[in-house]
Structure 1
Amino acid sequence: METSADELNVAELPTEEKSVSRRVGRVLLEFGIPFVVAVLLVPFVITGGRLWPWEPAMIDLDVYRFGVQSLLSGQGIYDVLSPAWKLAYIYPPFAAIVMLPLALGPTWLWRLLWVALLVVAQQSVLRRCGVPRGLVLGLVGAAALVAVEPLRTTLGYGQVNTLLMALVVLDLLPDRRRRWPRGVGIGVAAAIKLFPALFGVFALFARRARMAWTSAAAFGVATVLGIIVLPAESLRFWTFQIPAGTSGPQYVGNQSLQGLTTRFFGMSLTARGLFAVLAAVVAVLAILVARYWWLTGHKVFALSLVGLATSLVSPLAWTHHFVWVLPLLVAVVTDDGLPVWVRRVGMFWGLWISIQLPLTILPYADNAAAHYSFWQNLVANVTPLVGLLLYIGLFVDLLRRPRGEAEARDREAQERRDPVTGTIPSAG
């Protein structure tokens, strides 16, 4: 059998060059494919964008840019509204410090860079959740951008949700190249948007005390930095004197537990009290059941439970906040160690969150949610209702399992931990 000249040339390449060539090719597959899809998709996600000249309507990214530009010009970040959509900046002061580079350079460049950052963050999450590298990872990432509404609208709005998820996953599912002490990513994410702090509590209960205290320290340092640099803004934020959101909790786009209670019971004291109780119950149940699944080796499923709980317990959780549906879908598709009923309910919940049918079939303008019928309310609240039932079902299942099973499995895993890299080899 004859060997072609091209084959001889490849064979003669130095091993190091071939390795570099393969890495470059893999990166292009894993990130290039979803990046091209994202660039083509983003102008069509939010009304007002256009493909040529390329100008997506990244509303929230514009809010971030205008907020930090106002800060540098001597105005308070909470005193101004974005020019086009009249939206207020509502993040902690530390987030404004992190976003200061957004004040520099042309808008189109930052939109393109933001798309790239979101794609890199998403692909990092998918890879660490076990999606095979190379072409499969690239195709799965591209499909997720198109099919999963929270990812698609995070991209369209220019939001930070996928970036924060990636910071948390870098801590919880590290690879061999540790970039910082585990817990720093959780703490920084919490300092930018508060609710990721639930992962710090989860780490403490999941026998990862060092990670938990590191996350608390990172959150504290970041928050103190915000106070030192922006004392007036910090006082306003931490004393709840910042502008409210653009829509009330009844709006169907709010899929948190408070959306559930206010749509059924109106803007009443009863609704607020019921939300407080349900939020506390879900937070506790999420930590308890995620702890079990984490310690027994089902880590992707465990972190998805905590991540989705952060959205459910938030007073306002717009559909694009539910990016943690991505690891949930990976877990229920690939983890055959989960009970069948868990995979089925999880799949239904994940697909429902991905499709966001209520925004398609229900009226939502002019305070329409305040006048929904019972059946309209039922459709509007499938996401929080199914989530609540899943956490309760997982807790009942947990009560039936042998006491000490999770701790024993975790001890066995720790005995197999690589002392150099800190990673635990696969049992297979």
Structure 2
Amino acid sequence: MGIAGRRLLWLPAVVAALLTAWAALSRPAAIRLSDLGVYAGAVDGLRHGASLYDFISAGNAPFTYPPFAGLVFLPLAGAPALPLRIGWTIATLTTVFLLAGLLARRIRPGFTVLAPVAAVVLMVSAPVSSTVKYGQVSLFLAAMITVDVLLLRHHRAHGVLIGLAAAIKLTPLIFIPMLWFAGRRRAALVATATFAGCGAFAALVLPGDSWRFWTSEVSHVSRLGYITGVGNQSLNGALMRFDVATPARSMIALVAGGAIAAVALWHAARLARRDDWVSALVITGAAGIVLSPVSWTHHQFWLVLAAALPVRGRARLLWPVLVLAVMLLPVTALGPPLWSNLRLVLAITVAVVIPFLLTTRAPRHEPAYLTQTCCFAGHVKQDGDPVRLRSDRQVGPPAHRRGPGNPAH
């Protein structure tokens, strides 16, 4: 397929992006990109000496993230509303395109159609639509996690982006034990140190807000909004909708949610050791949705990716259809008890059931002589990753493959 043909494949995704942006930016000014308004308003108050956690938006929404997030958002303070909203929306949609391309290359290398199709699916999915509509930061954090795992896995900085994402918003913390159990213990320690370092830096710069957040605000789940609504698809949210009393609800959410997360992390580690990191990310993300006290629609990005899980047998064709129906259609609005909790059911299924039905995803094509267990210049290959060299000399193919057109160096 020529360059023009490949560009044409992206046209539906571009149209979907424009429509998504128009739908978000044409909302009434009072509710347009409302979460972005909270970020900008809170740090504008911070710049003038107020606490991040004293800010309340016109829509009665407070700032709920750790203090380090306030420092990250400081450049938003005082920015003109319209350019800020347009720029944030463009950055969000660009991130969707980049994620679609990255994930498509990992799921099925060389299949040209997959990336633009993935971009369309993501654009029209409920999590991305919600992210764009509210001006949320969630998609940027998902991109940081994905890049860390898929692109930085052979780099010393592996773990840094996950730690940064968790310092901005606590939900990515679940990806740190995923790294640990997958054998990426150095990366898990790097992520933990990055998270702790960001928190310590915020404590030095904003000691009052840091003390207030970690001793009080972090446990006030009610500040996060209308958490009994169907937008909250965590196990805790479902128990609230079933009117389970507070002590029992907290215990069930902690014990059952923790058990689901433990099983999911075991599955994710097993798949990661087989070099199926995309499936490991999706399963861990699904467990995070179940375990978190609040899992809004824009948190549920990982469930859209569950459509790409390599399910074997007769379910191979039915599974992606079911996933996309749940994540693209407004099924939670159809009412209790099943429909209003259907995305939670999907998250639990992805976390603990579907991993038993997965086939081995074809590994990325790498020369065999770079994926054998070997040692060169004092560095040993670990965890199924290509060997990294500590010498300017390049490892060549086996001798029987060398020839006039394939020299050793």
- The residue aligned with 2:363 is none
For residue 175 of structure 1, report the CA deviation from its aligned partner. Answer: 6.6
Structure-2 separation of matches of 1:108 and 1:35:
22
TM, length-normalised to structure 2: 0.78
Q: Does 1:377 align with 2:355?
A: no
- The residue aligned with 2:388 is 419
For structure 2, the 5+ residue unaligned runs are 361-370, 374-380, 391-409
Structure-1 separation of matches of 2:154 and 2:100:
17
For structure 1, the 5+ residue unaligned runs are 1-21, 363-375, 402-409, 422-428
1:147-226 matches, cutoff 5 A: 147-174=124-151, 181-226=157-202
Quickly say closer, same or farther: Cα 1:87–1:147, change in 2 above 3 A.
Answer: same
- The residue aligned with 1:4 is none
Structure-1 separation of matches of 2:351 and 2:195:
27
- The residue aligned with 2:403 is none
Match of 1:71 among 24, 27, 46: 46
Structure-1 separation of matches of 2:9 and 2:138:
20
Structure-1 separation of matches of 2:86 and 2:150:
28
Q: Is the CA contact (8 Å cut-off) linking 1:77 and 1:89 kept in structure 2? A: yes
Q: Residues 357-403 of structure 1: CA distance to partner in whole angstroms, max 9, x if unpaired?
A: 113x33xxxxxxxxxxxxx22221122234324433357679xx9xx
For residue 282 of structure 1, report the CA deviation from its aligned partner. Answer: 1.5
Q: Does 1:292 align with 2:252?
A: no
Q: Does 1:130 align with 2:104?
A: yes
Structure-2 separation of matches of 1:191 and 1:287:
21
Amino acid at match of 1:191: A
Q: Is the CA contact (8 Å cut-off) linking 2:92 and 2:139 kept in structure 1? A: yes
- The residue aligned with 1:245 is 223
Quickly say closer, same or farther: Cα 1:142–1:290, change in 2 above 3 A.
Answer: closer
Match of 1:263 among 241, 263, 270: 241
Quickly say closer, same or farther: Cα 1:238–1:381, change in 2 above 3 A.
Answer: same
Q: Residues 20-67 of structure 1: CA distance to partner in whole angstroms, max 9, x if unpaired?
A: xx8xx99988999756643442342488348xxxx9811101111101
Q: Is the CA contact (8 Å cut-off) linking 2:286 and 2:348 kept in structure 1? A: no
Q: Is the CA contact (8 Å cut-off) linking 2:230 and 2:332 kept in structure 1? A: yes
Quickly say closer, same or farther: Cα 1:36–1:47, change in 2 above 3 A.
Answer: closer
Q: Is the CA contact (8 Å cut-off) linking 1:81 and 1:88 kept in structure 2? A: yes
Q: Is the CA contact (8 Å cut-off) linking 2:167 and 2:195 kept in structure 1? A: yes
Match of 2:351 among 391, 400, 403: 391
1:20-35 matches, cutoff 5 A: 34=13
- What RMSD, in angstroms, separates the aligned Cα atoms of the two structures? 3.5
1:350-365 matches, cutoff 5 A: 350-359=324-333, 361-362=334-335
Structure-2 separation of matches of 1:218 and 1:26:
44
Amino acid at match of 1:48: R
Amino acid at match of 2:305: P
Q: Residues 76-106 of structure 1: CA distance to partner in whole angstroms, max 9, x if unpaired?
A: 11112113x1211111100010011111431
Q: Is the CA contact (8 Å cut-off) linking 1:43 and 1:56 kept in structure 2? A: no
Structure-2 separation of matches of 1:232 and 1:166:
31
Q: Does 1:280 align with 2:267?
A: no
Match of 1:59 among 25, 29, 34: 34
- The residue aligned with 2:404 is none
Q: Does 1:41 align with 2:20?
A: yes
- The residue aligned with 2:401 is none
Structure-2 separation of matches of 1:29 and 1:226:
46
TM, length-normalised to structure 1: 0.75
Amino acid at match of 2:20: L
Quickly say closer, same or farther: Cα 1:58–1:89, change in 2 above 3 A.
Answer: same
Q: Is the CA contact (8 Å cut-off) linking 1:285 and 1:395 kept in structure 2? A: no
For residue 354 of structure 1, report the CA deviation from its aligned partner. Answer: 2.9
1:331-346 matches, cutoff 5 A: 331-332=308-309, 335=310, 338=312, 340-341=314-315, 344-345=318-319
- The residue aligned with 2:203 is 227
How many residues are paired up? Answer: 364
Quickly say closer, same or farther: Cα 1:96–1:342, change in 2 above 3 A.
Answer: farther
User: SS of 2:56's equivalent?
Assistant: coil
Quickly say closer, same or farther: Cα 1:142–1:127, change in 2 above 3 A.
Answer: closer
Structure-2 separation of matches of 1:310 and 1:290:
12
Structure-1 separation of matches of 2:31 and 2:111:
29
Structure-1 separation of matches of 2:274 and 2:303:
21
